[in-house]
Amino acid sequence: MRDRDRFQPDAPLLARARAALAGARQVAVLTGAGMSAESGIPTFRDALTGLWSRFDPQDLASVEGFSADPARVWDWYAERREGVRRAQPNAGHKALAAWARAHPGRMCVVTQNVDDLHQRAGQPDVVRLHGDILAEQWLDESTCRQRPRCDPAAADPGRPPRCMRCGALARPGVVWFGEALPEADLARAQRVANGCDLMLVVGTSGAVWPAAGLAGRARRAGAMVVIVNPEDSEIDAQAHVLLRGTAAQVLPRLLAPA
C-alpha cells in the first residue's frame, strides 16, 4: 500500500479532466465504497481494512448465509447501520453535490454504496444499484398471505424482526451475492452510461458486475472516462484519465468552479 497522504493528482491530468467536465452536457458518476472511506465507512476489498478481508461474504451477504444464522447476519448489519448513521458526507460527496446543484439536470450519480451519504450531501439525482442498508424488506415476499402485504416497518423488533401477522422474516434492504440488481435502477444506470459525455468513476475496485461494466459501456458510447482512485482497479483500462488520489482530495479540485 502506498502512502495515500502523499498523493497529489498529476496537474496536467487534472486539467484535462476539468476541461472535459466543463464541456460535458451530461456527467455520469459511478461511485463505490472508496467514495465513503474518508467518512469512516470501511471498503470491501482493501487489503487490511476491507470488510471482505475480515468476513466471509458467503456467510454475511447471501440468502444462504442469512438463513443459516439470521441473528448473526442481522447483528452484523445492525453494527454497519450504526456506522452509517454516525458517518458524515466527506469533501468528495459535498463537491459532487455542489457541482450538481450548480449545473441542474447535468449530473446523475450511480452508486454501489448502500449508505445514504450522497443523499445527505444534497445530491439531487442518485441511482442506488445495491440497495439501502437502512431499509428493511421481507426475506421472502411469498410467505405473506395478507392483502395488502404486510409492511416490514410493522415487524416486531426481534433479531431479525419477524412479522407479527404473517411470520415473515425481515432482512436488510441490500442486494446480496447471487441476487439480481433492482431492474429499473440498473436500466436507468445503463441509460445514463449510454447518454453521458463524461463518466467519472470514484472509489470502486471494478470487481463486481454489472456495475463494473458501466464504465466500458460509457466509453463505447463515446464518453470520456475519468477514474479517481488511489490504487489500481480492474477497470483502469477503460479510463482516458486516471487521477491517483482519494475522493476527498481529488473531487473538490476537479469540481471546483473555474
Residues in touch with ligand OAD (CB under 6 A)? 32-34, 37-38, 43-46, 50, 112, 114, 130, 174-175, 202-205, 207-208, 229-231, 233, 246-247
* Closer residue to ligand OAD in complex, CB, 31/161: 31
Residue/partner pairs of 56-59 with CB below 8 Å, 24 or more apart: 57/177, 58/177
Q: Which three cell numbers stand for residue 56?
A: 466471509
List, in sequence order, every residue forming a beta bridge with 31; answer none if it has no partner.
111, 202
Q: Which residue is nearest to ligand OAD (CB)?
A: 34
Nearest-CA neighbor of 44 among 59, 35, 34?
34
* Closer residue to ligand OAD in complex, CB, 170/174: 174
- Under DSSP, the state recorded for 209 is T
Output the CA–CA distances (angstroms, integers) from residue 18 to 15, 103, 154, 248, in the order listed.
5, 15, 48, 16
Q: Tell me the CB-side half-sphere exposure of residue 128, using CA atoms within 13 A.
A: 18
* Closer residue to ligand OAD in complex, CB, 224/243: 243
Give dist(CA 192, CA 91) in Å, integer: 24
Give dist(CA 164, CA 96) in Å, integer: 42
- Closest distance of CB 104 from ligand OAD, Å: 26
* Closer residue to ligand OAD in complex, CB, 14/163: 14
Residues 243 and 226: beta-carbon distance below 8 Å: yes
- Closest distance of CB 195 from ligand OAD, Å: 23
> Which residues make Cβ contacts (< 8 Å) with residue 15, sequence separation at least 6?
none
- Closest distance of CB 30 from ligand OAD, Å: 9
Phi then psi for residue 41, to 5 deg, are -95, 120
* Closer residue to ligand OAD in complex, CB, 26/62: 62
> Which residues make Cβ contacts (< 8 Å) with residue 79, sequence separation at least 6?
none
Q: Which three cell numbers stand for residue 9?
A: 493528482
Residues 97 and 247: beta-carbon distance below 8 Å: no
- Under DSSP, the state recorded for 135 is E
Active-site hit among 93, 118, 130, 240: 130
Q: Decide if 130 is catalytic.
A: yes
- Closest distance of CB 161 from ligand OAD, Å: 21
- Closest distance of CB 102 from ligand OAD, Å: 23
- Closest distance of CB 236 from ligand OAD, Å: 10
* Closer residue to ligand OAD in complex, CB, 78/164: 78
Task: Give catalytic residues, as residue numbers.
Answer: 130
